[in-house]
Amino acid sequence: MGLLNLLLKDPLGFILIAVPLLYSIIFHELAHGWTAYLLGDPTAKSLGRLSLNPLEHLDPVGTLMLFIFGFGWAKPVPVDFNRLRDRHKGMIMVSAAGIVTNMLLAFCAFFLIRWLSLSPSGMPGVLFYYFAQINVILAAFNLIPIPPLDGSKIVMGFAPSGVQNAFFRLERYGFFIIIALLYFGVLDPVIHFFRWMILSLIKLLLP
């Protein structure tokens, strides 16, 4: 269900999903930018993209897709991998930063639910639960190794230059490939597997 349908049918549900989703994506992109900056690339910082202001990160087409189809994207934080002090390690660390951030946010939300003994039917409990699940899904989705998703950049960090070049050439078609695979349900088992893996790790770490 797209967010537009949710807004029309359940405005409260829209707020409970849209706001956590928006800031989960923003934190994901900020993690890329800050990690790149710490590793030697100031591109995102110089362009003012290391900001919590949603307007700096909204992509018009991605936002429209999100509202209509329930699948969308933010404006990617620009990273110049050639300016990183160690290109291969830097590519892996910058790409993994967004995924790790979403996993940490999910862990914190689950931890607060348990620590505060929040009721699953109360507003705080529902909000934290949605926030946790949204971040788990974002992390799982971005682990898929199809350009331009983060999983592909992690693979590229370990791969020889020939494989990297092939991934870079594929990147311009990546979103079309992803949308088609999502439409036909091909990626569903992959996302479910990564989601299970992330939730298992979080449950293992929760006190």
Catalytic amino acids?
A: 29
* Tokens matching residue 167: 């991934």
Phi, psi of 10 (to 5 degrees): -145, 85
Peptide bond into 148 cis (omega under 30): yes
